[in-house]
Amino acid sequence: MLENKWVQSGSSWSALALNIVPVLIFFSVVSGEGGSMPVVFTLLSLTIIISIFAIYVNRGKNILNTRVAVLGLSFSIGITMFMLAVASVTDLSQIT
């Protein structure tokens, strides 16, 4: 199953594409429209796990998919650090 090209490609690109959902929820929380910060960080942790899985599946086989998975992982870590920085400065309990 791990040798399937659709598993390799799908895991890499989904690791990159899933980064947009937590960002949208986070901006919804900050703008006061509602949302849940635990859901945001759960989705980000899921994206990090998928990225690590994609790196594992594509190791030594497809360099493009490996690079996409690494890019998804770096985006996930960067987004998490950005959200933690904004959440530490902003009192989100006053917004929601």
pLDDT band at 23 (very low <50, low <70, confident <90, very high): confident
| CA distances from residue 87 to 20, 29, 80, 93, 96 in whole angstroms, order as listed | 18, 10, 10, 10, 13
Phi, psi of 4, rounded to the nearest 5 degrees = -65, 130
- Report the pLDDT value the prediction gives residue 94, as an integer from 0 to 100: 63
Look at residue 74 in the predicted model and tell me its pLDDT: 92
pLDDT of residue 88: 81
Contact 18, 79 (CB under 8 A): no
Q: Is the pTM of this model over 0.75?
A: yes
- Could you tell me if 88 and 77 are in contact, meaning their C-beta atoms sit under 8 angstroms apart? no
Task: State pLDDT tens for residues 46-96.
Answer: 888 988 998 888 888 888 888 888 998 999 899 889 888 887 887 766 655
Q: Residues 19, 72: contact at Cβ < 8 Å? A: yes
